[in-house]
Structure 1
């Protein structure tokens, strides 16, 4: 199942990338989207960064039969592997999301693209997989709203972070 969400930040690509690679921002994002505060591991590389955020999400919105299989919460581990900046400052990260203890996962990309000198479009495109024949589609449909809600909260945290700068 395809998951897509885009939004615009009122800041340059350089500033948005600096936010994304700021451990304080990643901790705020994890706290806003996790029932246990989450954990963050951030490592700078020669031309980018690798960011891993682990969160515990409730399964309240899941259908009862799916919740019976996965429990009251799921642990979601998201890894973004950011590459170098393009000539215009745009950046792309490979995105991998693993739902621990389940066959569900998502792979895709996160892109930062300049909309103008002071605006950046952040786009997330991923392919959510249920991983089990026959019921995988139901798992995808159950998990998709949690993934989308986490992206909505990520946007809100980012806007608040940038407003404070």
Structure 2
């Protein structure tokens, strides 16, 4: 069973400005430094026409994890994540996939970014295939995903203003 999530964030700038940011490799390096400096790294960045593919490795320090997670997977979490974004007219359509190294956990979701002031709508699912405690762990992972999306939003606004 998986736990679904929905989350949205709005930016004080246009979809065009957002696209200009996410199609710049330095943006991703700066984003990781701002949101995951101890564990984050840019693994690859590729632009192909109207699509950008970004692979990162992120992490969560064990001290920031709930006991439900550390009881079954002690230590820091390493999270490979791939995002693909496509520009379609005035809309950016994206897909993200992530996993947790050494654990049966997967995160996937769709991203749609629209509006004169760009609004990103995330819809996704977290699946932790561990009997009895998977649902509890999924809820903890959803909380971490929302926290990360909010931190990425704040860093993006700072970059745009800076």
Asked whether the two chains share a fold, i.e. TM above 0.5, the reply is yes
Q: How big is the shift at 1:128?
A: 0.8
Aligned runs of 1:46-125 on 2, under 5 Å? Answer: 46-83=49-86, 85-87=87-89, 89-114=90-115, 116=116, 119-125=117-123
3-state SS in 2 of match to 1:69: coil
- 1:29·1:153 contact (CA, 8 Å) conserved in 2? no
Q: Unaligned stretches of 5+ in structure 1? A: none
Once the two structures are superposed, residues 128-160 of structure 1 have per-residue CA deviations (whole angstroms, 9 ceiling, x without a partner) of 111223221021122222211111110110110
Structure 2 Cα separation of the partners of residues 123 and 59 of structure 1: 29
Flag the 1:100–1:15 CA change in 2: closer, same or farther, 3 A.
same
Unaligned 5+ runs, structure 2:
none
SS state at 2:71 partner: helix
RMSD: 1.7
| Counterpart check, 1:30 vs 2:35 | no
- Which residues in structure 2 correspond to 1:126-165 (within 5 Å)? 126-164=124-162
- Count the aligned residue pairs: 159
Contact 2:109 2:125 (C-alpha < 8 Å) held by counterparts: yes
Output the TM-score relative to the length of structure 2. 0.88
